Amino acid sequence: AEHAKFSRRDVGDRYYNSLYLFAPDGAIRGQYRKIRLVPFGEYEPLGSVLTWPRAIAAATGKFLAGERYTRFAVGGVPFGAVICWEAIFPDLFREFVRGGARFMIVATNEAWFEKTAAPYQLLAMSAFRAAENGVAIARAANTGVSALIDPFGRVTRRLTGPGGRDLFVEGVLVGGVSPARGPTPYTLYGDVFAYIMVAVTLLVWGGARFRPRRRRASPDEEHGARH
């Protein structure tokens, strides 16, 4: 079976955080270069105009961002893949599905967070991406939760160890995913509905805030009106 792996590879003096699809014979069938890099972890924000302290610069990666929403294929079924924190960005994830991906891979390094709530929060974000776009996700985490998520955002299977623990577990998770049948409204239109709701809220607030108010009559005017 073909399998995916993410690693770092240099091209001349350029470095990318990349994910590769390998064939059974070891041949590279595809490459995805991470698009949304981690500030200070993988690059220096505004590095072309700001000079950061040496301690910060020395600890910061020098990676370049990829530009292509790569689609891989297995058995004729196209799929996409994101690396690590890219799964928290709905707009980026959506572009892979818009481009034809019928299921998604999330390959993530969560060792930073150790045994905290963060790996479960990141798992929940992956579930949101699945439900938003109606695609199944196979999630491979080095120390976090490795799991299969269906197109409705439900975790159908997860890798567990002794006592049912699911963090820092070594093993292989075997299961299937169902290819998406068609785009969801979110895949087609993105955050348009949210923008419409914000606009409606502002219009209602503006109408209430700036609507002319009726002047209350003074006591003398009220007395005169009675006579």
Residue 79 makes CB contacts below 8 A (sequence gap 6+) with: 71, 72, 73, 101, 102, 103, 104, 105
| pTM, two decimal places | 0.81
Q: The dihedral of CA 94, 97, 102, 105: what is its sign? A: negative
Q: 46-50, 137-141, 159-163 — which is least confidently predicted? A: 46-50
Segment 77-109, tens digit of pLDDT = 999 999 999 999 999 999 999 999 999 999 999
Six-digit token string for 118: 């963060």
Residue 223: its pLDDT value, please? Answer: 57
Residue 140 makes CB contacts below 8 A (sequence gap 6+) with: 4, 105, 106, 107, 108, 146, 173
**Residue 136 parent element (H or E):** strand 136-141
Contact between residue 32 and residue 18 where contact means Cβ atoms under 8 Å apart: yes
Instruction: Show the domains of the chain with their CATH numbers.
Output: 3-188 (3.60.110.10)
